[in-house]
Amino acid sequence: MGSLTLKQFRAPLLEPIDLHLQAGECQTLSGPSGSGKTRLLRALADLDPCAGEVSLNDQERSTFSAPQWRSKVGLLLAESGWWLERVGDHFKQPQTELFEQLELPKEAINWEVSRLSSGERQRLSLIRLLSNQPQVLLLDEATANLDQANTAKVEALIADWRERHQVAVLWVTHDPQQRKRVSERSWLIESGRLREVS
Amino acid sequence: MNLILLTPLDLAIAATLVVALALISLRLSLGIEGKLLIAALRTVIQLSLLGLVLKFLFVQSHPLLISALAMFMLFVAGYEVMARQQRRFSGIWGFGVGTLSMFISSFSVTILALTVIIQAEPWYSVQYLIPLLGMMLGNTMSGIAIALDNLTQHAWQRRQEIEARLILGHTWDQSIREIRRNALRSGLIPIINAMAAAGIVSLPGMMTGQILAGAPPMEASKYQILIMLLIAAGTGFGATAAVWIGAKRLFDDRERLRLDRLGKKRA
């Protein structure tokens, strides 16, 4: 269970942001390429230096060590990184039901990373992130490399996950239909400001 | 000692060979004749100056003057390490990482050798200190330059992998461990190869010099063995320190990968 609160949070290219994501809530963020969406997510995950306050369940980020924070505030980047040969070597404890939900065979755990398609990489990196049990999810175009059927499966998995675990989700997407399907509130970046989309 | 003294004419004969090589380069349009002649000229000037400085220091033998020369050698080596980096650390770190690592390794190993093994009197005697330190710095410099270059290049190329690990809650140390290990390995391979080939493929420079100067071959061998072992240790310690300091510098206090601390890639 996790809520995320931003107070005068300063990410690159953006004016200070005040935002609250309740536990179990999903909000989407869109805007033109280069407007600072990914950089906001990176700053929230503490990958880039930034100023202002951000807290998880009302506990300020500075009270967590950086690895603790990143384990709890999980970031899924559009391009995933893999550092070992086999998929399974990247998991602490792979959750087999997640493979089933995304209709990936259990044997995927033994696949070679170099032979994965971009869609497989994206789905497997989502499973890898969820297996880490984060309390907040920051998703950067989580379905960009997927066809319609797989997009629907990923959306269903995330909806199910946030309901069961009460995680807050901040989802960057370019697709207006997806925005309507997955979120309670939507934000658009315009001239460095966040404007709520009705 | 039955050293045959060289005359300027002897050196001139050797120099004509290099001039002949430059002519061949010109004839074959290799385009390196200019560089070759300048490098040869630098060798003549630099070594002559070193000879003069050492001659002066042999007479004076003042600890302050000797340490000034040692520091000068260290700074030049530090500059060389920096110059060999394709992506060097910006600011003072570009010069500092290599220089500090060489200071830690070369100086401590040289002082240990002079005080405990060779037991020169005094330990800072120019005859022993400067040649030993020169050989230590020269070799350690190469090892550190290769290791640091490997570290920063791979950190840049594999940033996605490093950040993927950070995102999953790995520490900075876990996230760069493989890259750091490979960088250190690359810095140590040349000295390992040199030790493996010593005496079979190549006759090392110091041993050659001592034999030419009339030292008994077994004594020259012992000195060469000592030097090779010291160089291996010095290079290993220096490269370890440099790679460790460099890897740490690639992350900030919140364990973020800070590639902005590296300068632009140089040709």
Domains of chain A: 4-190 (3.40.50.300)
- Say yes or no for a CB contact (<8 Å) between B170 and A82: no
How many helices (H) and strands (E) are present in chain A, helices listed first?
A: 6, 10
Residue of A nearest to B169 (CA): A67
Q: Answer for the pair B137, B74: CB distance below 8 angstroms, yes or no.
A: yes
B167: distance to nearest CA of chain A, Å?
5
List Cβ neighbours of A100 (8 Å cut-off, separation of 6 or more): none
Per DSSP, the three-state class of A86 is strand
Nearest-by-Cβ selection for A79 from B160, B162, B254: B160
- Mean pLDDT, chain A, rounded, equals 93
Whether residue A135 is predicted with pLDDT greater than 70 in this model: the reply is yes
φ and ψ of A194, to 5 deg: -90, 125
pLDDT, averaged per 10 consecutive residues of chain B (267 residues), comes to: 83 96 94 94 94 89 91 94 92 94 94 93 90 92 95 96 96 97 95 88 83 89 92 95 97 96 85
Residue of A nearest to B173 (CA): A67
pLDDT in tens, B23-38: 999 999 999 999 999 9
- Say yes or no for a CB contact (<8 Å) between A129 and B167: yes
What's the ipTM?
Answer: 0.94
Chain centroid to CA B169: 38
Per DSSP, the three-state class of A77 is coil
pLDDT in tens, B127-177: 899 999 999 999 999 999 999 999 999 999 999 999 999 999 999 999 999
DSSP B114: I
Q: Answer for the pair B257, B163: CB distance below 8 angstroms, yes or no.
A: yes
The torsion of the CA quartet B104, B109, B114, B116, rounded to 10 degrees, works out to: 120
The residue assigned the tokens 């070594």 is: B47
- A131 contacts on B by Cβ (under 8 Å): none
- Say yes or no for a CB contact (<8 Å) between B165 and A81: yes
Burial letters for B162-196: b for 16+ Cβ neighbours within 10 Å, e otherwise?
A: bbbbbbbbbebeebbebbbeebbebbbeebeebee
| CA dihedral (B70, B74, B75, B79) positive or negative | positive
End-to-end CA distance of chain B: 48
- B168 contacts on A by Cβ (under 8 Å): 70-71, 128-129, 132
CA distances from A67 to A1, A63, A77, A155 (A): 18, 12, 17, 27
List Cβ neighbours of B124 (8 Å cut-off, separation of 6 or more): B63, B66, B67, B114
Report pLDDT for A166. Answer: 95
The percent of residues in chain A predicted with pLDDT above 90, rounded, is 88
Across the beta sheet with A59-60, what order do the strands follow? A17-21, A4-10, A51-56, A59-60
Per DSSP, the three-state class of B253 is coil
Chain centroid to CA B225: 18
Closest CA to A170 of A80, A75, A81: A75
Residue of A nearest to B170 (CA): A67
